[in-house]
Amino acid sequence: MLKTFTTKKSLQQYLQQIKALNQTVGFVATLGALHHGHLSLIELAQQQNDVIVCSIFVNPSQFNDPKDLEKYPRTIEADIKLLEQVKCDILFYPEVNEMYDDNEHWHLNIGETEHLLEGEFRPGHYQGVTQIVNKLFNIVTPDTAYFGQKDYQQFLIISKMVTMLNMPVKLVMCPIKRETDGLAMSSRNIHLTPDDRQHALILSKTLNWLKTNFNSHNIPTLKKEAELLINAEPGVELDYFAIADGDTLHPADEATKSIVALVAAQVGKTRLIDNVVLSS
Ligand code: AMP
């Protein structure tokens, strides 16, 4: 049976009982509008823990654009059904005023990674992400927290925060779940028109092409070809395409060991991100 908590206090009281029984807690933080990508995180967490907490909270502080916050999909009834179907144990579903006091200030010096790629296009986004994930980790105190590779840069930044603040939590990066045609699952896909949905495929197709051709071309050629492919697609406007060091997100060169290609583009009115690990 899914137990839903809307206050920190009630959740913490319940988790104290769980921990007194020496049961391990796995945690999946989400913004809701759940899809199979989210569920795959919960399923992996279930394999490795006794009790799973999923949070659903559309965190205002990580949205730099108020219109984006307003139109972010909210589908709590369907979300609860899905959580029940996968036998998730606990849902934490707080209101904004449960998570934030008025005029709260947060700044964590997480270094330059914050300002690269997504950080450049969504200023302040990662301050908001670290602010809420820090709060959620303090409330849930999970043994292990599961995040998707889909938000690759977010994983790097949360790892950095966990190291900097000596947080006693293990992080696991989970693979990207895709639709059968390759589109990375995302809550934002709801907003794609049928035309957008077709045009959006260029992102995963290009990343696939890169993976196939990674060993036969040099990095500048790969980047140029990938950008040409995406720019040729109608209705798709590239924010960035990067072939980067998987640890620093600086541009990769032939000597870089861990390499990831990351893309963000506006498809119609919807902003999508995707990535692929090319070498690790
Ligand atoms: P969100 O609700 O978009 O904040 O996502 C919550 C968590 O699910 C994050 O750790 C995401 O990286 C992860 N996630 C989102 N989409 C996918 C996907 N297609 N495959 C795997 N994980 C995902």
Tens of pLDDT, residues 69-106: 999 999 999 999 999 999 999 999 999 999 999 889 99
Q: Is any ligand 1 atom within 6 A of the Cβ of residue 271?
A: no
Question: Does one domain contain both 170 and 196?
Answer: no
CATH for 123: 3.40.50.620
- Answer whether residue 155 is part of any domain: yes
Mean pLDDT across 230-252:
98
Nearest residue (CA) to ligand 1, atom 14: 148
What is the SS3 assignment for 71?
helix
Q: Which of 188, 212, 5, 217 is nearest to 92 (CA)?
A: 5
- Clarify whether 38 is annotated catalytic: yes
Question: Does one domain contain both 89 and 200?
Answer: no
Q: Is any ligand 1 atom within 6 A of the Cβ of residue 176?
A: yes
For 193-234, the pLDDT digits (tens) are 999 999 999 999 999 999 999 999 999 999 999 999 999 999
The fraction of the chain above a pLDDT of 70, given in percent, is 100
d(CA 38, CA 34): 6
Q: Of the candidates 130, 148, 174, which is a domain's last residue?
A: 174
Q: Dig out the tokens for 75 from the structure.
A: 């589908």
Structural domain containing residue 61: 3-174
Q: pTM of the full predicted structure?
A: 0.98
Tell me: pLDDT of 263 over 90: yes
d(CA 15, CA 20): 8
Residue entry with tokens 């049928």: 194
Q: Where are the alpha helices (DSSP H) in the chain?
A: 8-20, 36-48, 66-71, 76-85, 96-99, 118-121, 125-140, 152-164, 194-199, 201-213, 219-231
d(CA 152, CA 204): 15
